[in-house]
């Protein structure tokens, strides 16, 4: 873990968001059904950064990820590497290399692990690159290798989360959006998955991690946004947060 | 265009299960073979069943593989059937080019309906397809200068290769069996292809598929067009085999029968449409001796099938999760 | 695996049981493809009952050429593809000798090719197939489409001052044929057809068509087609206050009571002889009908005899053809049908010829109305 800590320190040495942003959202609002669940949110993700978005249930965390992805009716602007993303066009967003692992993982339960992985690389036509990615994913998650022929829905929660992450990696993401990867998992499995995320981030992958379990996220993140009732209420350096009370203070500030 | 064949290894399945997977096909071969030997009435029933199998295979692409709903596939069968009938009987074309034009017209009609409606979700599409089914039926009744209304069009020539026309029962059975085998093969290939996996993803979760960069509405449209093509092929086969067509052939009755076939056979499976078409065609004939109780017996048999094989007969022979 | 076994055995038993040939018996077999369910149900059930009644009458007298008649009825659900299946079933499994089939014309057309190949003739309730090569094996008891129309035109010409009429018809083949006759032949009666409109059998309102007819100056409406729409038309005429006569097609008498209550003496209908039996003069026709009507009334009371009477005729014509041919063979019976002339049936006199397979050549119909709850012949 020491190298992880070092990497984090280095990245966060720069002022928050001042790194060249891979993604910048301004005035992002989104509706969820008839309810406006996000009100004019501004966020920036630097290249190679791991940003955590924390907040209680119903704060709009998932909606934020869906809005970036173009999956919900939204207003405001999202720029990816300086280029505006088309509104409400998830296919176009996905094509640019932004990959979402949605709440509940979004796997195809009746399909095999192999087929799920293959669908991750759906837009890839280069066979050599496909094999390279597949090899990489199976090295990261050796357990998937044992279960290639098994239906995704028949695996344990932890394995399914590995598959969801593996499938996202098959797409060759430049920015990974993760919606509560720890949900419903045993602490040991969560640790395993977060460790892998740390590894990927150290290799330079930008990640937005939405979590309810703050301590887990704080350990990995370069920067933290606090979201409450659809608004960003604070932007913090994780090192400044030493206890759960600190977080609570920010919410009520 | 497939990047790699599915790694899902059938060779790792127990041999008994693999053999069980062949049972639906074996059943089909036995039934068709029996009809071929006996001829007559059995040949007629099985011929119609095979034509339905083509139709249901297409329906399965859209409803099973892509998990959409269409109540209007009979419209495309009507377009294919009447295309063939009018071009051959009225304008003296030979069957094959007439069939091709009929199928092309049906696919075009499907594009016109599908393009706007497939962007919508759920019941809008279902309602749209129901409408096109009813409208097409009305057109076949009302456009009498072309379709001759309820009088129907007779004198439609049978299929043939050169001067040889397929008129005998056995000849027609052989021809239809080849067509059905080709359709089933195509369905199996589609299922294992990149396109088929994309359809499965759409069926699993449109949102997850979209997030993976799969253009959901485009794939739904493609599946719809393909299924319309199969329906039109079935419609054309019907008119050339029977030699006659009238609006009732492609009425609401066809929608009900083919839905029953799809669910009895096993929606989403490759063998299901054929098995369903054969069973649903044979069952009422089995109970014909019951006279007034024929429908009752048939209904009871259907209910039993739904209780004991809720996911269809073909799925009984497939290992769970890979149906 | 238990389920697998269950399914396999079910499937196998279906395949085996489905299509076992019937045991051959020394009977003469008449096949009936009838729409016992579906749109033709009312008509075809009556047709079937007429056929069965006739067969029983023939059998009571010892059958035909020493054989008892066996009637095999299959329901074609009023659908052509079902008709093909049941024709096929009766041909190959039951080895039927002749067909006396019902009024689902599309079904009879669809199967016509099969009969040609099997050399089995059919005597129909419906119109004849349109395909020239199918015609030699098909005969019908149906009077020509023009007769119903001409009877009405005749009445208007002779008994009224009305010279402008409207035609209202449904899209069935028989109705279309009649419409064509009305358009072509009205002038012969000095009558002009000022409007022609189509409706559907399930239409619940015909006031648009009727208003149009009135605006065009029509003094009478010739309605061509069956079902509840006759009452609808009557009600619409009354609601619109239109001063028009309504002359409707041949139909089940039960339909006409309510219509007559609405329109009174402005309502007329075409009736077949069996429907107005009591009003007929003594003679060959009345005797012919009596042979049928006595057993019919005994069994079915006051149920309308019209469709059943033609089913009866179908069987009696077949028996006559067999006796004339002195053979039960399909081809010989077919030839004999073509020579039957002067045959007194319940619907009129049948005169078949090799070039004429529609045997009724003289208009047997009458025009009737209902006065004081009783059917009264006016023409």
Q: Give the three-state DSSP class for A74.
A: strand
Q: Inspect the interface and report whether the beta carbons of A111 and B204 lie closer than 8 Å.
A: yes
> Which residue of chain A has the CA closest to B13?
A149
Alpha carbons C3 and B306: distance in angstroms, whole number: 13
Cβ-nearest to C106 among B48, B152, B283: B152
Q: Inspect the interface and report whether the beta carbons of B27 and C171 lie closer than 8 Å.
A: no
Cβ-nearest to B246 among C4, C91, C106: C106
pLDDT on residue A34? 64
Q: Inspect the interface and report whether the beta carbons of B201 and A119 lie closer than 8 Å.
A: yes
For chain C, give every domain's residue range.
Answer: 27-140+304-350, 146-272+365-377
Q: Give the three-state DSSP class for A110.
A: coil
Tens digit of each residue's pLDDT (9 = 90 or more) over B27-44 = 999 999 988 888 888 888
Calculate the CA dihedral of residues C93, C97, C101, C104 and round it to 10 degrees: 50
Cβ-nearest to C171 among B16, B142, B309: B142
Q: Compute the mean pLDDT over every residue in chain B, rounded to the nearest whole number.
A: 85
Place of tokens 């094959």: B96
Question: Nearest C-alpha of chain B: how many angstroms from C357?
Answer: 18
Q: Inspect the interface and report whether the beta carbons of A149 and B4 lie closer than 8 Å.
A: no
Mean pLDDT score, B169-180: 90
Instruction: State whether residue B6 sits within 8 Å of chain A by CB.
Output: yes
Cβ-nearest to A149 among B8, B197, B201: B8
Domains, chain A: 2-97+174-252 (3.40.50.300), 108-171 (no CATH)
> Which residue of chain C has the CA closest to B253?
C79
Q: Inspect the interface and report whether the beta carbons of B213 and A91 lie closer than 8 Å.
A: yes
Question: Nearest C-alpha of chain A: how many angstroms from B53?
Answer: 25
Cβ-nearest to C81 among B151, B155, B242: B242
Q: Give the three-state DSSP class for A76.
A: strand
> Which residue of chain B has the CA closest to A107?
B208
Fold of C146-272+365-377: Rossmann fold (3.40.50)
Q: Inspect the interface and report whether the beta carbons of A151 and B214 lie closer than 8 Å.
A: no
Chain B hits for C169, Cβ within 8 Å:
none
3-state secondary structure B308-322: HCCCCHHHHCCCCCC
Chain C hits for B42, Cβ within 8 Å:
18-19, 92
Q: What is the pLDDT along chain A (253 residues), one digit of tens a residue?
A: 444 444 444 444 444 445 578 988 888 888 766 666 888 889 999 888 999 998 887 788 888 888 888 887 778 888 888 888 887 788 888 888 899 998 888 888 888 899 889 888 888 888 888 999 999 999 999 988 888 888 888 898 889 999 999 999 998 899 999 988 888 888 888 888 888 999 999 999 999 999 877 777 788 888 989 888 888 888 888 777 766 666 666 655 5
Chains A+C touching (3+ CB pairs under 8 Å): no
Q: Inspect the interface and report whether the beta carbons of B316 and C80 lie closer than 8 Å.
A: no
Q: Inspect the interface and report whether the beta carbons of A119 and B12 lie closer than 8 Å.
A: no
Q: ipTM of the predicted structure?
A: 0.76
Question: Nearest C-alpha of chain A: how many angstroms from B214?
Answer: 6
Chain B interface test: which of A111, A113, A152, A178 (most B C-beta within 10 Å): A111
Mean pLDDT by 10 residues, chain C (379 residues): 50 46 69 90 93 96 93 91 89 92 91 89 92 91 92 93 94 88 93 93 90 94 87 92 92 86 92 89 90 93 91 96 93 94 92 94 91 84
Instruction: State whether residue C9 sits within 8 Å of chain B by CB.
Output: no
Q: Residues near A22 by Cβ (< 8 Å), separated by ≥ 6?
A: A45, A46, A47, A49, A80, A81, A174, A175, A206
Question: Nearest C-alpha of chain B: how many angstroms from C21?
Answer: 10
DSSP structure class, residue B61 = I
Q: Residues near B218 by Cβ (< 8 Å), separated by ≥ 6?
A: none
Closest CA to A26 of A84, A70, A90, A97: A84
Strand order across the beta sheet in which C27-34 lies: C68-75, C27-34, C98-101, C122-124, C138-140
pLDDT on residue B122? 64
Chain C hits for B20, Cβ within 8 Å:
1, 4
Domain C27-140+304-350 and domain C146-272+365-377 have a common topology: yes
Tens digit of each residue's pLDDT (9 = 90 or more) over B281-316 = 988 888 877 777 878 888 888 888 888 887 888 877
Chains in touch with C (3+ beta-carbon pairs under 8 Å) read: B
Chain C hits for B48, Cβ within 8 Å:
81, 84-85
3-state secondary structure chain C: CHHHHHHHHHHHHHHHHHCCCCCCCCEEEEEEEECCCCCCHHHHHHHHHHHHHHHHHHHHCCCECCEEEEEEEEECCCCHHHHHHHHHHHHHCCCCCEEEECCCHHHHHHHHHHHHHHCCCEEECCCCCCCHHHHHHEEECCCCHHHHHHHHHHHHHHHCCCCEEEEEECCCHHHHHHHHHHHHHHHHHCCEEEEEEECCCCCCCCHHHHHHHHHCCCCEEEEECCCCHHHHHHHHHHHHCCCCEEEECCCCHHHHHHHHHHHHHHEEEEECHHHHHHHCCCCHHHHHHHHHHHHHHHHHCCCCCHHHHHHHHHHHHHHHHHHHHCCCCHHHHHHHHCCCCCEECCCCEECCECCECECECCCCCEEEEEECCEEEECC
Cβ-nearest to A149 among B9, B198, B204: B9
Q: Inspect the interface and report whether the beta carbons of B39 and C92 lie closer than 8 Å.
A: yes
pLDDT on residue C152? 95
Chain C hits for B140, Cβ within 8 Å:
none
Q: Across B108-228, where does the E strand assignment appear?
A: 153-154, 160-161, 164-165
Cβ-nearest to B253 among C6, C79, C105: C79
Q: Please, which pLDDT band fits residue B276 given cuts at 50, 70 and 90?
A: very high
Chain B hits for A167, Cβ within 8 Å:
212
* Angle between helix C229-240 and helix C207-215 axes, rounded to 10 deg: 50
> Which residue of chain C has the CA closest to B52?
C81
Share of chain B above pLDDT 70, in %: 91
Q: Inspect the interface and report whether the beta carbons of A153 and B200 lie closer than 8 Å.
A: no
Q: C27-140+304-350 in CATH: which number?
A: 3.40.50.2300
pLDDT on residue B46? 93
> Would you state the structure tokens that stand for residue C317, as one six-digit string?
């014509």
> Which residue of chain C has the CA closest to B251?
C79
Instruction: State whether residue B34 sits within 8 Å of chain C by CB.
Output: yes
Chain C hits for B244, Cβ within 8 Å:
80, 106, 109-110, 112-113
């Amino acid at each position: 873990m020491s190298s992880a800590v070092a990497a984090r320190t280095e990245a966060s040495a720069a002022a928050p968001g001042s790194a060249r942003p891979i993604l910048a959202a301004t005035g992002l609002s989104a509706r969820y059904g008839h309810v406006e669940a996000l009100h004019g949110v501004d966020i920036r993700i630097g290249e190679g950064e791991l940003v955590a978005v924390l907040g209680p249930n119903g704060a709009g965390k998932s909606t934020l990820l869906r809005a970036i992805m173009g999956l919900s009716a939204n207003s405001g602007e999202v720029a990816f590497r300086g280029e505006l993303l088309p509104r409400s066009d998830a296919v176009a967003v996905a094509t640019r290399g932004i990959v979402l692992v949605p709440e509940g993982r979004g796997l195809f339960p009746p399909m095999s692990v192999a087929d799920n992985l293959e669908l991750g690389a759906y837009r890839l036509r280069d066979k050599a690159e496909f094999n390279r990615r597949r090899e990489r994913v199976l090295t990261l998650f050796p357990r998937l290798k044992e279960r290639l022929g098994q239906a995704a829905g028949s695996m344990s929660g932890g394995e399914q989360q590995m598959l969801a992450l593996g499938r996202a990696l098959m797409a060759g993401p430049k920015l990974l959006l993760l919606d509560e990867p720890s949900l419903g998992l045993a602490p040991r499995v969560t640790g395993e998955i977060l460790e892998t995320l740390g590894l990927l981030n150290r290799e330079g992958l930008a990640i937005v991690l939405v979590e309810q379990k703050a301590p887990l996220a704080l350990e990995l993140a370069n920067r933290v946004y606090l979201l409450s009732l659809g608004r960003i209420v604070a932007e913090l350096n994780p090192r400044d947060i030493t206890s759960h009370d600190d977080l609570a203070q920010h919410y009520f500030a | 265009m497939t990047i790699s064949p599915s790694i899902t290894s059938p060779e790792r399945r127990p041999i008994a299960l693999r053999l069980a997977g062949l049972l639906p096909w074996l059943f089909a071969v036995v039934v068709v073979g029996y009809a071929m030997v006996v001829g007559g009435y059995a040949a007629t029933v099985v011929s119609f069943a095979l034509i339905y199998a083509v139709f249901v295979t297409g329906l399965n692409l859209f409803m099973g593989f892509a998990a959409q709903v269409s109540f209007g596939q009979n419209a495309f069968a009507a377009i294919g059937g009447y295309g063939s009938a009018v071009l051959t009987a009225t304008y003296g074309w030979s069957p094959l080019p007439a069939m091709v034009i009929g199928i092309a017209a049906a696919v075009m009609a499907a594009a016109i309906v599908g393009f706007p409606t497939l962007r919508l979700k759920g019941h809008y599409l279902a309602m749209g397809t129901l409408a096109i089914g009813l409208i097409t039926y009305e057109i076949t009744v009302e456009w009498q200068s072309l379709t001759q209304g309820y009088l129907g069009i007779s004198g439609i020539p049978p299929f043939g290769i050169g001067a040889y026309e397929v008129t005998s029962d056995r000849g027609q059975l052989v021809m239809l069996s080849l067509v059905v085998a080709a359709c089933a093969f195509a369905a199996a290939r589609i299922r294992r292809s990149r396109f088929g996996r994309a359809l499965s993803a759409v069926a699993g979760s449109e949102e997850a598929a979209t997030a993976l960069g799969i253009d959901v509405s485009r794939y739904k449209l493609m599946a719809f067009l393909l299924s319309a093509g199969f329906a039109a092929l079935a419609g054309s086969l019907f008119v050339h085999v029977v030699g006659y067509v009238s609006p009732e052939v492609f009425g609401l009755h066809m929608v009900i029968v083919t839905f029953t076939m799809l669910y009895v056979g096993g929606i989403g499976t490759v063998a299901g449409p054929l098995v369903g078409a054969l069973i649903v065609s044979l069952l009422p004939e089995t109970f014909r001796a019951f006279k007034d109780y024929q429908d009752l017996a048939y209904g009871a048999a259907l209910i039993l099938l739904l209780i004991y094989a809720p996911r269809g007969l073909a799925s009984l022979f497939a290992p769970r999760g890979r149906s | 695996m238990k389920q697998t076994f269950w399914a396999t055995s079910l499937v196998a038993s279906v395949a085996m049981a489905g299509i076992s040939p019937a045991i051959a018996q020394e009977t003469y077999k008449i096949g009936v493809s009838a729409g016992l369910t579906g749109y033709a149900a009312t008509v075809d059930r009556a047709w079937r009952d007429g056929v069965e009644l006739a067969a029983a009458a023939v059998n009571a007298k010892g059958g035909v050429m020493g054989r008892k008649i066996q009637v095999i009825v299959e329901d074609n659900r009023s659908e052509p593809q079902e008709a093909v299946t049941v024709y096929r079933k009766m041909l190959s499994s039951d080895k039927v000798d002749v067909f006396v089939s019902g009024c689902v014309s599309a079904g009879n057309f669809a199967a016509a090719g099969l009969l040609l190949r099997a050399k089995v003739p059919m005597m129909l309730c419906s119109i004849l197939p349109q395909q020239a090569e199918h015609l030699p094996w098909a005969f019908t008891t149906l009077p020509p489409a023009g007769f119903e129309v001409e009877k009405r035109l005749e009445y208007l010409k002779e008994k009224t001052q009305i010279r402008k009429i409207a035609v209202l018809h449904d899209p069935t083949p028989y109705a279309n044929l009649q419409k064509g006759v009305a358009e072509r032949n009205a002038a012969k009666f000095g009558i002009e057809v000022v409007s022609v409109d189509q409706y559907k059998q399930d239409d619940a309102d015909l006031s648009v068509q009727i208003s149009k007819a009135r605006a065009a100056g029509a003094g009478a409406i010739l309605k061509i087609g069956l079902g509840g729409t006759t009452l609808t038309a009557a009600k619409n005429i009354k609601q619109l206050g239109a001063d028009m006569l309504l002359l409707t097609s041949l139909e089940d008498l039960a339909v006409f009571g309510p219509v007559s209550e609405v329109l009174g003496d402005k309502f007329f209908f075409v009736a077949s002889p069996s429907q107005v039996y009591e009003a007929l003069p003594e003679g060959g026709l009345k005797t012919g009908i009596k042979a049928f009507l006595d057993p019919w009334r005994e069994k079915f009371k006051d149920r309308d005899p019209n469709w059943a009477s033609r089913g009866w005729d179908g069987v009696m014509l077949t028996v006559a053809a067999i006796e004339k041919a002195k053979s039960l063979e399909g081809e010989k019976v077919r030839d004999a049908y073509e020579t039957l002339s002067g045959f007194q049936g319940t619907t009129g006199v049948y005169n078949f010829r090799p070039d004429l397979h529609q045997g009724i050549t003289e208009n047997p119909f009458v025009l009737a109305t209902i006065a004081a709850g009783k059917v009264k012949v006016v023409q």
